[in-house]
Amino acid sequence: VEFLYCDLASMKSIRQFVQQFRAKNCPLHVLVNNAGVMLVPERKTEDGFEEHFGLNYLGHFLLTNLLLDTLKQSGTHSHNARIITVSSATHYVGKLHLNDLQSRCSYSPHGAYAQSKLALVLFTYRLQHLLTANGSHVTANVVDPGVVNTELYKHVFWVVKVVKWMTAWLFFKTPEEGASTTIYAAVSPEMEGAGGCYLYNEERTKSADVAYDEELQRRLWTESCKMVGISDEASRLL
């Protein structure tokens, strides 16, 4: 195992990481997008993005796009390269505000978190559409890990923390259990060649209805390209 530093809240750090990775001339068979924050107070990344949207979504959007060439070169007809993005069941209640993606008008930690997780699902579906259209040997899927007992909950109210402490053994998954569906998407022979899926408990399931809105997927993609400074035309051509 070799560690390369990458701060998903920094566009500069992401670009530096990709440059370092490419310099190694290594193939890339699996990319797991799993960084995230939840219910943080209103604050911005160094690039001026609302933190949930900037870190949870835009960081992964840029990272994935910058690594697409390597992923395409690594995938073959019999062994596709795989992109797995970790979302959340919270996306079911999320609303995408294309006119206020930074939650400037009315900030809600819950709303901002849910929006970032919905954006990840929309992104995955759009990405798979583009990969298929291009004939690339790369698949993109999105995973719901379930409710997992991690430090992700450190910003919830103290009452919730107490309840979590008392009931985690009964209702929460362990980190190992929470990772199982991501690992399934990354290595299972059953997922070979399968893309555009929403997975929960190692099974394909239905995501929120709005996530299948192709026009919304396209508009989010275009806006995301502008925000991170990459060419939408180049992204569509992959």
Query: Which residues are catalytically annotated?
Result: 113
In degrees rounded to 5, what are phi and psi of residue 143? -125, 140
Contacts of residue 22, defined as CB under 8 A and 6 or more positions apart, other chains included, come to 70
SS3 labels along 82-112: EEEEECCHHHHHCCCCCCCCCCCCCCCHHHH
- Distance in angstroms (rounded) separating the CA atoms of residues 137 and 28: 12
Task: State both tokens at 148.
Answer: 């997992």
Task: State both tokens at 5.
Answer: 């530093």
- Distance in angstroms (rounded) separating the CA atoms of residues 54 and 75: 29
Question: Measuring CA to CA, which residue among 209, 236, 224 is closest to residue 119?
Answer: 224
Q: How many angstroms from the chain centroid is the CA of residue 196?
A: 13
Q: DSSP state, 157?
A: -
Is 214 exposed, middle or buried (CB count within 10 Å of its CB: 0-12, 13-18, 19+)?
exposed
- Distance in angstroms (rounded) separating the CA atoms of residues 20 and 214: 34
